[in-house]
């Protein structure tokens, strides 16, 4: 059998007609082949129209400042589910083509967005972060102490998933022994048939209904108890949330589960990759812990755990010389904006002491800026502190397996070997 010829994305990106570039293809993310296409779009056509894709026609916004302009203008570029979805793939969140409708406050514009967001925002208030810190530290120490030195294992499963799922279970006050259900449901929410997780829309819906039934039991329990500082209790005791339909409840759960899981999981996985690819930067941090202030936002930028968010134009508008029509899908590629060399010096590189490291797009801008960004950074900071205590090197010893998704920019498997 003849081995397949490796795909040269750099060559394809140079030679393909500009109008034929479609950066939404999941296989580009799966093989980490995106950056040459984004580089060309930023250079030649930063507001680019793709006339045909698996998800229909859409606009790609690929430069840092243009993404900020779109993200902060919700009066023209809407997230509201009545106008479209907040992601490119309508089927994962809307009831089209077999998908199931999952409304939540990411799919709302003000004022409704603000009311729903305020219900759950106390979970990440500063006093709660202080309350969580000791728990996160104890768990991180325990997880890392159980890892083998000098033996190969999957960092994603043993570290990234384990730590983020424990934290998510705490935020939800979810039965701890069942916490891996949260990982599965998070993956199911952002997938579609053919991506390796489910074989049909019916299977996906069945698993989401299992998720809904489980949380409805928890919701009823919390309603019957005095208010507690967990997300399900906050929903159960909020006057604004008493009219939630089962679909609304499932949509809100989808946002909380994915938001509390995938972002941090991918950044923890990216941390292992960064330590392997840039060992001199890991050494910098080991020798100077003050660099944690810049290295944590640098990890989040360099990894960019959510590759895009999408808006829908509410009116005909000219943007950077292009005529965007009412109803058009407008995709902000955070993954591209975080590699814009007009804003970020040496953007492809991981630099532990990068100046202005917080100047990145990974948490979004405007009203939809990531609610849990400070908690995510706290989890990453503690992980890096404990890694620096234990390891001289984190070696990736095989080809990583990436998530085949144009939304979640992460990993399924990173085979690593730790050096004490």
- Full set of structural domains in the chain with CATH: 9-419 (1.10.630.10)
Choice among 105-114, 163-172, 283-292 with the minimum mean pLDDT = 105-114
How far is it, in rounded angstroms, from Cα 390 to Cα 369? 34
Confidence (pLDDT) at 247: 82
pLDDT band for position 277 (cuts 50, 70, 90): very high
The pLDDT assigned to 109 comes to 52
Q: Is the pLDDT reported for residue 333 higher than 60? A: yes
Cβ atoms of 174 and 261 within 8 Å: the answer is no
pLDDT value at position 229?
A: 83
- Residue 48, marked binder: no
Host H or E run for residue 258:
helix 246-259
Cβ atoms of 286 and 388 closer than 8 Å: yes
Among 217, 248, 216, 259, which residue's Cα sits nearest to residue 115?
248
Q: Quick one: CA torsion of 157, 163, 164, 170, rounded to 10 degrees?
A: 140
Say if residue 50 carries a ligand binding annotation.
no
**At 81, is the pLDDT very low, low, confident or very high (cuts 50, 70, 90)?**
confident
Geometric angle at alpha carbon 158, from 298 and 128, rounded to 5°? 60
Which tokens in the block code for residue 349?
A: 């590189």
Query: Is 311 one of the annotated binding-site residues?
Result: yes
Question: Does 116 count as an annotated binding residue?
Answer: no
**Omega before residue 111 within 30° of 0, cis:** yes
pLDDT at 372: 67
pLDDT tier at 120, thresholds 50, 70, 90: low
CB distance 289 to 300 below 8 Å: no
Give residue 244's pLDDT.
Answer: 77
Looking at per-residue confidence, does 4 or 291 come out higher?
291
Across the range 217-237, mean pLDDT stands at 89
Q: What are the pLDDT digits (tens) for 153-164?
A: 999 999 999 999
Q: How confident is the model at residue 105 (pLDDT cuts 50, 70, 90)?
A: very low
Please tell me whether 117 is known to bind a ligand.
Answer: yes
Q: What is the DSSP string of 375-404?
A: HHHHHHHHHHHHHHHH-SEEEE-S--EE--
Minimum mean pLDDT range among 64-78, 139-153, 308-322, 360-374:
360-374
Q: Output phi, psi for 140, to 5 deg.
A: -65, -45
Ligand-binding site membership of 301 (annotated)? no
The per-residue pLDDT for 292 is 97
């Amino acid at each position: 059998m003849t081995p397949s010829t490796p795909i040269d994305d750099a060559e394809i990106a140079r030679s393909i007609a500009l109008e034929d570039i479609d950066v939404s293809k999941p296989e580009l993310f799966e093989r980490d082949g995106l950056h040459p296409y984004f580089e060309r779009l930023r250079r030649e056509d930063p507001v680019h129209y793709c006339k045909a894709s698996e998800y229909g026609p859409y606009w790609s916004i690929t430069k840092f400042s243009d993404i900020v302009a779109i993200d902060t203008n919700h009066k023209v570029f809407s997230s509201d589910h009545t106008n479209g979805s907040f992601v490119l793939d309508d089927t994962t969140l809307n009831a089209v083509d077999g998908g199931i409708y999952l409304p939540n406050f990411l799919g709302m514009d003000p004022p409704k967005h603000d009311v729903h967001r305020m219900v759950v925002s106390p979970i990440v208030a500063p006093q709660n972060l202080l309350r969580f810190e000791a728990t996160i530290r104890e768990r991180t120490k325990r997880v890392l102490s159980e890892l083998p030195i000098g033996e190969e294992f999957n960092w994603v499963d043993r570290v990234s998933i384990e730590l983020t799922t424990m934290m998510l279970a705490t935020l939800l006050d979810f039965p701890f022994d069942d916490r891996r259900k949260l990982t599965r449901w998070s993956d199911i929410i952002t997938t579609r048939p053919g991506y390796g997780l489910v074989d049909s829309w019916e299977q996906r819906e069945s698993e989401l209904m299992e998720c809904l039934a489980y949380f409805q039991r928890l919701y009823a329990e919390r309603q019957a108890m005095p208010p507690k500082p967990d997300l399900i209790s906050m929903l159960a005791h909020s006057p604004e949330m008493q009219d939630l339909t089962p679909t609304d409840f499932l949509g809100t759960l989808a946002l909380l589960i994915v938001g509390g899981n995938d972002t941090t999981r991918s950044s923890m996985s990216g941390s292992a990759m960064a330590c392997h690819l840039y060992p001199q930067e890991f050494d910098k941090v080991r020798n100077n812990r003050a660099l944690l202030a810049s290295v944590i936002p640098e990890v989040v930028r360099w990894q960019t755990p959510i590759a895009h968010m999408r808006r829908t134009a509410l009116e005909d508008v000219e943007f950077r010389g292009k005529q965007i029509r009412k109803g058009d899908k407008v995709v902000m590629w955070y993954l591209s904006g975080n590699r814009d060399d007009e804003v970020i010096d040496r953007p492809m590189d991981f630099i532990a002491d990068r100046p202005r490291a917080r100047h990145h797009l990974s948490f979004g801008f405007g009203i939809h800026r990531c609610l849990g960004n400070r908690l995510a950074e706290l989890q990453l900071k503690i992980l890096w502190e404990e890694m620096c205590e234990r390891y001289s090197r984190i070696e990736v010893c095989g080809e990583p397996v990436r998530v085949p998704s144009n939304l979640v920019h992460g990993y399924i498997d990173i085979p690593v070997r730790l050096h004490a």
